[in-house]
Amino acid sequence: MDLDYRKQWDQYVQELREIKVDGEEAVYWQMKYPFPMSNRDCVYVRQRRQLDFEGRKVHVILAQSISVPWFSEKSGMIRVKQYKQSLAIQSYDSWRSEVFMYYFSNPGGQIPFWILNNFTKSEIPGFLRDLENACLKYHRAEERFVSLVSME
């Protein structure tokens, strides 16, 4: 949910910012794709809820692409028109969490299967490692911030 932090750790983010669509918050996201694929962009809405399930905190984040006719596609970008993500993070104990994620994205364009297969095999596991490291660092950064505030 923290777009500024996402820009720091995600090597594929080219641009990421909130925009207003019909008075509601949405996100504009430009992604760098490795050569020889074209870069992509996407406009999506998201929601976050915190639930209590059997004494455990569960954070649920839902995101889905939307069509915004007035927000035209940029030159050199392929607009991702089908994107959907469901994420649930549940506290496991005081130091660990369980993460459940469903992710679907139709990148559009013409991507040969061999390129897509190589991308999936190499880039997705790397992205998941980056995501895990980012989560660990974000927690530590948050703890340092709380410590600094409590010292004042």
* Residues 92-127 pLDDT 10s: 777 778 888 898 888 888 877 887 787 778 777 888
Other beta carbons within 10 angstroms of residue 107's beta carbon come to: 18
What 8-state DSSP symbol labels residue 106? E
Residue 142: pLDDT band by 50, 70, 90 thresholds? low
Closest CA to 1 of 48, 66, 43, 64: 48
Its pTM stands at 0.79
Structural domains in the chain, sorted by start? 3-108 (3.30.530.20)
Q: Per mean pLDDT, which range of 16-25, 28-37, 63-72 is the poorest?
A: 28-37
Is pLDDT of 65 > 60? yes
Q: What pLDDT is recorded for position 139?
A: 65
